[in-house]
Amino acid sequence: MEKLIINGGNKINGTVRVSGSKNAVLPILAATLLIPDTCYIYNVPALRDVYTMLELLKYYGADVEAGECLKINCSNIQNRPPSAMVRDIRASFLIVGALLGRFGRVSMFMPGGCKIGQRPVDLHLKGFGALGASQSLEGGIIDISGKYLNGREIYLDFPSVGATENIMLASVTAKGRTIISNCAAEPEIIDLANFLNKAGAKITGAGSDTIVVEGAPALSGVSHSIIPDRIEAGTFMLAAAAAGGECRIENIMIDHIRPVMSKLREMEVDIKEEENALTVYADGIVVNTDIKTLPYPGFPTDMQAQFTALMAKGLGTGIVNETVFENRFMYVGELIKMGANITVEGKLAVVRGVEGLAGAEVNATDLRAGAALIISALAAEGKTEIGNIHYIDRGYEEIEKKLSALGCKIKRVKCP
């Protein structure tokens, strides 16, 4: 068991380089299952979820060579019964579309919910069904088979990121044209489409609300660099806004971070932007505002907890409306232990800014909740101990090293 110990009240100063995107690399790792050749993937973040996904690829027989460049060859993979490993990360359900496209059949444990919501996969299954795959569920294992998938028009009732990605993976080698309408438009979808097109797929429209996939006979190995993680970038921006100071954030794609940047500017945080970097100039005081999470290009739900933590010590009141997930305020109780004044009513949180926060013993309830606690701890007076930091390690590479290099008083300790 490990904890993060943070002594708040220190200003942030320095430069941090953002790692590759967790939510881009996971679907791309799943996509390698479609490719009977060697793929060279760069800028892969060192995250727990990445290691879990790589173990899963190896379970199916992929050759994996980690290093500066991640080398994966799925020429000799075999279809196998589902591995319990898939229960460790939800994104593992993305291998279903790839295995269905590669083998015409796949069995997988139905993913359960998680802390932030029920996380159904009905839209994924609707897409596979539309392509002609039959499905049967027994004992919590879903068996999907469709030897010859045929392209179809598929309407997504909600622009689900995972369903969009899974249907893309299943349809890249299907016969004919697949149209995915009302699909997700996140930058990670574009990165997946770029990766697949380099392998010989024919995907257009990624980043819009309609993706068209023309079936390709076969795919070959590619070399690809993962886009920067826009949520990690946003998290460091808010850490600087909360602690105060000057923080330069490098290796970003500025357009991916616009929703976060506009909100911070609304909160009177000064940001100087460049093409692949930005600098936050903050005095540690923000003016609270309202936040409503929406599918991209709306305000990202993955930044909701971090903004609530920032506003806990802001001026005035802010209303946070979480429209994407049904249970993404669990961390509020932990912020209240630090003196925050936040009331949650269903999908709304009313954040009344307080003069100051005080360090306390708190626990991360999920990945982004953990990031929120780090932000509040940096702004709080005194010492904060954060438990359950394995959640944080799922999505942030060496978080304490990066924050220490920015002048934060943070350390990771082992505890019994």
> Given the rule CB under 6 A, which residues bind ligand EPZ?
22-23, 26, 90-91, 117-124, 158, 160-163, 184, 301-302, 324-325, 367-368, 395
Cβ nearer to ligand EPZ, comparing 23 with 43: 23
Q: Of 73 and 376, which CB lies nearer to ligand EPZ in the complex structure?
A: 376
Identify which of residues 161 and 379 has a Cβ nearer to ligand EPZ in the complex: 161
What's the gap between Cα 83 and its chain centre? 23
Tell me the closest approach of the beta carbon of residue 407 to ligand EPZ, in angstroms.
Answer: 26
Q: Which is nearer to ligand EPZ, 224 or 368 (CB)?
A: 368
- 272-278 long-range contacts, Cβ below 8 Å, gap at least 24? 276/250, 276/251, 276/252, 277/248, 277/249, 277/250, 277/251, 277/252, 278/237, 278/248, 278/249, 278/252, 278/254
Name the token pair of 25: 């690399």
Task: Give the shortest CB-163-to-ligand EPZ separation in angstroms.
Answer: 5
From 39, 114, 247, 408, active-site residue: 114
Least Å distance between CB 167 and ligand EPZ?
A: 10
What tokens appear for 393 in the block? 């390690």
Residue closest to ligand EPZ when measured from CB atoms: 162
Report the nearest approach of ligand EPZ to the CB of residue 129 (Å): 12
In the complex with ligand EPZ, which residue's Cβ is closer, 288 or 331? 331
Q: How far is the CB of 355 from ligand EPZ (least distance, A)?
A: 30
Edge-to-edge strand ranges of the sheet holding 202-204: 153-155, 177-181, 210-214, 202-204
Asked if 297 and 259 count as a contact pair (C-beta separation under 8 A), the reply is yes
Q: Which is nearer to ligand EPZ, 216 or 391 (CB)?
A: 391
Shortest Å distance, C-beta 142 to ligand EPZ: 13
Taking Cα atoms as reference points, which of 373, 383, 378 lies closest to residue 406? Answer: 378
Q: How far is the CB of 300 from ligand EPZ (least distance, A)?
A: 6
Nearer to ligand EPZ, 367 or 380 (CB): 367
Active site includes 408?
no
Q: Which of 396, 383, 387 is nearest to 364 (CA)?
A: 387
Residues serving a catalytic function are 114
